[in-house]
Structure 1
Amino acid sequence: MKSTIIVLISFFFLSCSNDNDDEKTIIYPQTIIPIQILKGNLNYNNIYNQQNVVITNDSDWQTLMSNFSTYGVINGTPFSESNIDFQNYMILFVIEVGSGTTTLDITDIQENTNNIIVTVENLQLGLTTDVTHPFHIVKIAKTNKPIVFQ
């Protein structure tokens, strides 16, 4: 009788599944929804050319905001955030040389197993001859994975 009870109890415990293992499995790619900090055109710029930058500390962030104040932002709004919690977030900053009516847009961010792919596009191409520097600045959750811009 004891052996039957032990077998039944063993069968019960072995038949129970652990759903927590299924919840921890992450299926890639995963879309990351960024928080927009600022988008527009930087005028009279002699610091930034075409580049993609990942900012992970307050010192670099303060330098960027100071440079933007010095050179003036046109066709944009003020920074939506100036105090970034770099323990939990990072900044992605893209800029290029273009005309005043060209936009630079971070259109997609995908997290893969080994990296994060950031897609950057010009959703609007300008036809004017004036030269400005369209840019886009977003915030995402901090990660140790490499950031790849395309």
Structure 2
Amino acid sequence: MKKYLLILFSALFFILNSCQDDEENVAVQTPVSFSLIGKGNFYGGTYVTPQKSVINNTTDWNNFLTQVNAQTNVSDSFTETNINFSQFMLIVVVDQVQNSGGHSIDIMTAIENSQNITIDVEKLLNGNAATVITQPYHIVKIQKSTKPVIFN
């Protein structure tokens, strides 16, 4: 009988402990505000490697600008090109080259938790608007962080 009571109390103990509130295990998620740097389509021979990347220094940013300005001055349409990388970093999303116009790639949200920053990327427009070769891009600026950035 003592064995049964011991088993019963042990099972009851484990059941009650497993039903505790898991609030301490839930990561606090905070929306990260971002500012638009540029959004649109590369065209006219200006195409870059498709990417979902973070630019956090002037050298990489200048290299990217050189690429996108090779055929046309795409960066003229950017809201700013002089970025203070001691305070900010850039999230750059460039889709693959498309055989028609009307495509988009869209940074929807940026969410920060204790471990990382998650960037949600979607394609809201799926093309067939014109017979022109395009490459959608979206570039935003967020506060600098040392946390890894994960793209969804």
Do both share a fold (TM > 0.5)?
yes
Matched, 1:106 2:107: yes
More strand by share: 1
Q: Which one-letter code corresponds to 2:60 in the other structure?
A: D
**Structure 2 contact 46–70 (Cα < 8 Å) conserved:** no
**Structure 2 contact 56–89 (Cα < 8 Å) conserved:** yes
Provide the C-alpha distance between the structure 1 equivalents of 2:112 and 2:91, rounded to a whole number of angstroms: 14
Q: Unaligned 5+ residue runs, structure 2? A: 1-26
Q: How does 1:71-110 map to 2 (within 5 A)?
A: 71-72=71-72, 78-97=77-96, 98=98, 99-110=100-111
Q: How does 1:29-44 map to 2 (within 5 A)?
A: 29-43=29-43, 44=45
Provide the C-alpha distance between the structure 1 equivalents of 2:29 and 2:142, rounded to a whole number of angstroms: 16
**Who is 1:120 aligned against?**
121
Provide the C-alpha distance between the structure 1 equivalents of 2:73 and 2:39, rounded to a whole number of angstroms: 9
- Helix, strand or coil for the counterpart of 2:125? coil
- Helix, strand or coil for the counterpart of 2:150? strand
- Helix, strand or coil for the counterpart of 2:104? coil
Q: How does 1:1-150 map to 2 (within 5 A)?
A: 28-43=28-43, 44-46=45-47, 48-72=48-72, 78-97=77-96, 98=98, 99-127=100-128, 128-150=130-152
Deviation at 1:50, TM superposition (A): 2.2
TM-score relative to the length of structure 1? 0.74
Q: Unaligned 5+ residue runs, structure 1? A: 1-26
Provide the C-alpha distance between the structure 2 equivalents of 1:86 and 1:122, rounded to a whole number of angstroms: 28
* Range with bigger deviation, 123-132 or 136-145: 123-132
Deviation at 1:49, TM superposition (A): 3.1
Q: Which one-letter code corresponds to 1:104 in the other structure?
A: I
* Range with bigger deviation, 124-133 or 101-110: 124-133
- Helix, strand or coil for the counterpart of 2:66? helix
The root-mean-square deviation of aligned C-alpha atoms, in Å, is 1.9
Deviation at 1:36, TM superposition (A): 0.3
- Helix, strand or coil for the counterpart of 1:143? coil
**Structure 1 contact 49–133 (Cα < 8 Å) conserved:** no
Deviation at 1:73, TM superposition (A): 6.3
Structure 1 stretches of at least 4 aligned residues deviating more than 2 Å after TM superposition? 71-74, 128-131
Provide the C-alpha distance between the structure 2 equivalents of 1:40 and 1:72, rounded to a whole number of angstroms: 14
Deviation at 1:77, TM superposition (A): 6.5
Q: Percent identity?
A: 34
Deviation at 1:101, TM superposition (A): 0.7
